[in-house]
């Protein structure tokens, strides 16, 4: 058996053939072109629809806002971890602030170490200060500080969808 | 007398019919007669893709085990093994965050030979990733990616990608801590992609966090979408191996 070898393509001849075919443009050629165009458009439409279909319009994620009880539950200087909500709620002399516990490296949940006064991420070892500032590891930026407000019923509401500046505090 | 003779010859012809049908059936499958001689037997094997997927003629030196290490064949065998064991696992597995972990534990402790099926599936999956990588290295080091085999190299790269995606999607299905965070990390890597990274992650997960929608998505891709695509790519891959021949002159 001869091993298959690619024959060199004579591009000049190919182009000439193509031009000749365009000169000989016939009724059949026209309908072939229409058919191919229709097929291409149909494929594109089907592709776009399929792609759009797999992107959901509604998800079952839980609401980003949650209530965290009365301000008096939290002593000054405390750090409270809501592990299911992935939020650390801190209270300082000048008020409340909340850190979104999503590691800025690849999204794991950094854990609070009270004795060391820092967060450590279990996945790749990033470390953060209590205010979310990264000081060690592969994470590129500080963890987000999210909005803390006082709800109408006097409880604390943490809105994980609202990013605020790291200095923002809810004074109570 | 004449009538009887005609009757007898008719009977003889009728008796031939089952034999003729059998022969035709045989030939329709094997394209040659019964393998009564070495020549016919060789032809039968060489012209039949099922009996002889490899090209009929290759270099003698390439017949050695150490030329291919059977890596492609082992990968394919593992794919078959994964398909069969995966099929069995599907009988006890519900792709939902409520049941997935419990079902996985049931397979380990409550189903007869469940742990064998699960571990066969798991270890074969690990092994397949290794053999596919080694196969790619072997093809590279023997220069078998060069023309006219560059198309099949491309198909092979797609198959490697599909193997890795099958591994990744299967990783989530036990729904333990390892699954959850591995997929969180993996999809966050996709998020770093330029322009539409977050959208890519969102459509992979089917939600903003790894959850029920993600398990269902990964399950469908793992048991249907990716294996189907891989099987089609494999058909082309093997056929091209046969038609392009092994690398090197004869």
For chain B, how many structural domains are there in total? 1
What CATH code is carried by the domain that includes residue B162? 1.20.810.10
Q: Would you say residue B53 lies in a domain? A: no
- Put simply, the answer to whether A59 touches B199 (Cβ < 8 Å) is no
Ranges of each domain in chain A? 11-53, 65-164
Spatial CA neighbour of A71 closest among A163, A157, A144: A157
What integer pLDDT is reported at residue A4 of this predicted model? 58
Mean pLDDT across chain A: 92
Q: Would you say residue B21 lies in a domain? A: no
Sequence-distant (6+) residues with CB within 8 A of B212 are A60, B96, B97
pLDDT over 90 percentage in chain A: 80
| Averaged pLDDT for residues B114-137 | 97
Cβ B160 vs Cβ B133: under 8 Å: yes
Q: Show residues of chain B in contact with A56, CB under 8 Å.
A: 206-207, 213
Q: Which domain holds residue B105?
A: 67-241
Q: Would you say residue B219 lies in a domain? A: yes
What integer pLDDT is reported at residue A168 of this predicted model? 92
Q: How many residues are recorded in chain A?
A: 172
pLDDT tens by residue, A105-137 = 999 999 999 999 999 999 999 999 999 999 999
- Put simply, the answer to whether B147 touches A6 (Cβ < 8 Å) is yes
Confidence of residue B137 (pLDDT cuts 50, 70, 90): very high
Cβ B77 vs Cβ B120: under 8 Å: no
- Put simply, the answer to whether B185 touches A59 (Cβ < 8 Å) is no
**Interior angle at CA B55, CA B49 and CA B61, nearest 5:** 145
At residue A1, does pLDDT exceed 50?
A: no
For residue A100, the Cα-to-chain-centroid distance in whole angstroms is 14
pLDDT tens by residue, A11-39 = 888 888 888 877 777 788 788 889 999 99
At residue B197, does pLDDT exceed 80?
A: yes
Q: Does A26 touch chain B (CB under 8 A)?
A: no
Q: Does B211 touch chain A (CB under 8 A)?
A: yes
- Tell which A residues from 120 to 139 touch B, by Cβ distance under 8 Å: 122-123
- What CATH superfamily classification does A65-164 receive? Rieske [2Fe-2S] iron-sulphur domain (2.102.10.10)
Q: Does B148 touch chain A (CB under 8 A)?
A: yes
At residue A160, does pLDDT exceed 50?
A: yes
Strands (E), chain A: 65-67, 79-82, 87-92, 95-100, 111-113, 118-120, 127-128, 134-136, 145-150, 156-164
Choose the mutation target among A55, A59, A62, A111 for the interface with B, i.e. most B CBs under 10 Å. Answer: A59
What integer pLDDT is reported at residue B250 of this predicted model? 53
pLDDT tens by residue, B219-237 = 999 999 999 999 999 999 9
Q: HSE (CB half, 13 Å, CA atoms) of A170?
A: 23
Candidate from A5, A106, A122 with C-beta closest to B188: A106
- Put simply, the answer to whether A123 touches B181 (Cβ < 8 Å) is yes
pTM above 0.80, yes or no: yes
Q: Would you say residue B87 lies in a domain? A: yes
């Amino acid at each position: 058996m001869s091993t298959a070898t690619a024959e060199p393509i004579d591009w000049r001849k190919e182009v000439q053939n193509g031009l000749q075919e365009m000169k000989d443009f016939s009724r059949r050629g026209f309908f072939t072109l229409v058919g191919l165009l229709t097929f291409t458009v149909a494929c594109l439409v089907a592709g776009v629809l399929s792609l759009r279909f797999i992107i959901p319009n509604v998800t079952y994620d839980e609401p980003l806002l949650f209530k965290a009880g009365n301000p008096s539950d939290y002593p000054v200087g405390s750090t409270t971890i809501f592990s299911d909500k992935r939020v650390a709620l801190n209270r300082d002399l000048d008020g409340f602030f909340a850190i979104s516990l999503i590691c800025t490296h690849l999204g794991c949940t950094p854990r609070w170490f009270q004795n060391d006064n820092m967060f450590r991420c279990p996945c790749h070892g990033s470390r953060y200060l209590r205010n979310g500032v990264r000081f060690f590891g592969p994470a590129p930026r500080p963890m987000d500080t999210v909005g803390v407000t006082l709800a109408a019923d006097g409880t604390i509401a943490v809105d994980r969808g609202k990013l605020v500046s790291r200095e923002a505090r809810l004074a109570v | 007398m004449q009538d009887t003779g005609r009757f007898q010859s008719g009977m003889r012809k009728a008796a031939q019919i089952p034999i003729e049908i059998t022969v035709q059936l045989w030939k329709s499958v094997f394209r040659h007669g019964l393998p009564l001689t070495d020549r016919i037997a060789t032809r039968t094997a060489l012209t039949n893709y099922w009996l002889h997927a490899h090209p009929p003629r290759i270099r003698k030196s390439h017949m050695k085990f150490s030329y291919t290490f059977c890596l492609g064949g082992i990968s394919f065998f593992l794919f078959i093994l994964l398909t069969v064991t995966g099929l069995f696992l599907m009988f006890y597995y519900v792709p939902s965050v409520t049941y997935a972990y419990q079902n996985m534990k049931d397979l380990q402790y409550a189903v007869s030979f469940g742990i064998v099926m699960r571990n066969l599936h798991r270890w074969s999956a690990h092994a397949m990733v290794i053999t596919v990588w080694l196969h790619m290295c072997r093809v590279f080091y023997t220069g078998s990616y060069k023309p006219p085999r560059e198309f099949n190299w491309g198909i092979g790269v797609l198959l490697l990608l599909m193997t890795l995606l099958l591994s990744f999607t299967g990783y989530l299905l036990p729904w333990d801590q390892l699954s959850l965070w591995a997929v969180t990390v993996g999809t966050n890597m996709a998020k770093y992609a330029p322009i539409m990274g977050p959208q890519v992650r969102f459509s992979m997960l089917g939600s903003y966090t790894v959850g029920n929608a993600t398990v269902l998505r990964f399950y469908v891709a793992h048991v249907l979408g990716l294996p189907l695509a891989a099987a089609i790519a494999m058909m082309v891959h093997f056929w091209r191996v046969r038609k392009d021949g092994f690398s090197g002159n004869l």
